[in-house]
Chain A
Amino acid sequence: DAKTTQPNSMESNEEEPVHLPCNHSTISGTDYIHWYRQLPSQGPEYVIHGLTSNVNNRMASLAIAEDRKSSTLILHRATLRDAAVYYCILRPKYSGAGSYQLTFGKGTKLSVIP
């Protein structure tokens, strides 16, 4: 499986934008880039995903490099509630068979400073 590399930790001031990087230099053409986050004492939750184009949703934006070897999760205004571990995960395109379990790395622990 293609692997991802993320910084172990990052800090952000409250109400400022946060850019969380992820490197995935061995990504295949059919891999989707997913982001999940895990708030303290909770299970992981889906944040956003993309294939080639940049994506926006109510939680965040995902910027994908043109060569797809890296991506950046953007939180436009960090709040205290955004303090969590953020996981960048590669998942193959659904092919009608098999399992689509998530393979978690160590993620980036984001601290938000009031």
Chain B
Amino acid sequence: DSGVTQTPKHLITATGQRVTLRCSPRSGDLSVYWYQQSLDQGLQFLIQYYNGEERAKGNILERFSAQQFPDLHSELNLSSLELGDSALYFCASSASNGRSSYNEQFFGPGTRLTVL
């Protein structure tokens, strides 16, 4: 158990809909990362938040957005869903204290999104 929780575990929805994925980081971790894993693209970084502020963006579509709340949990919002958005979405957290040489990331169990 990494200490990172994600809900829901599974999500099935239709094209054009909007969904929200939730992530609770490990206690004390300030950074939250979102990744998407699909069969054709592999694991791809989407976006990072650090202590409530957006820190970096990766291959995140404009239809997707995220935020990190004062209690440090994060939500990933996916709208106007398309069939190709079906994937596993992982959240990871890290301490990001700036002093660690490795800044280990701890991954949650993922949310499997199926768009029909």
From B13-21, B63-71, B79-87, B93-101, give the one contacting chain A: B93-101
For residues 27 through 52 of chain A, which have their beta carbon under 8 Å from a beta carbon of chain B? 32, 34, 38, 42-46, 49, 51
Interface residues on B, range: 20 to 34
Contacts A43-B108, A44-B43, A45-B2 given; does A100 touch B94 at CB 8 Å: yes
In the complex, besides A44-B90, A49-B102, 7 extra interface pairs with C-beta distance below 8 angstroms are A38-B43, A46-B105, A49-B101, A49-B104, A51-B101, A96-B98, A98-B56
Nearest residue (CB) in A for B58 is A101
B103 interfacial contact with A, CB 8 Å: yes
A13 interfacial contact with B, CB 8 Å: no
23 contacting pairs across A/B (C-beta < 8 A): A34-B102, A43-B90, A43-B109, A43-B110, A44-B43, A45-B106, A46-B104, A49-B101, A49-B104, A93-B101, A94-B98, A98-B56, A99-B48, A100-B96, A101-B45, A102-B33, A102-B35, A103-B45, A104-B35, A104-B43, A104-B44, A105-B42, A106-B42
B104–A98 CB distance below 8 A: no
- Partner among A38, A102, A106 whose Cβ is within 8 Å of the Cβ of B105: A102
B2–A43 CB distance below 8 A: yes
Query: What residues on A are CB-neighbors of B48 within 8 Å?
Result: 99, 101
The 5 closest A-B pairs by CB, nearest first: A43-B107, A99-B56, A104-B43, A101-B45, A49-B102
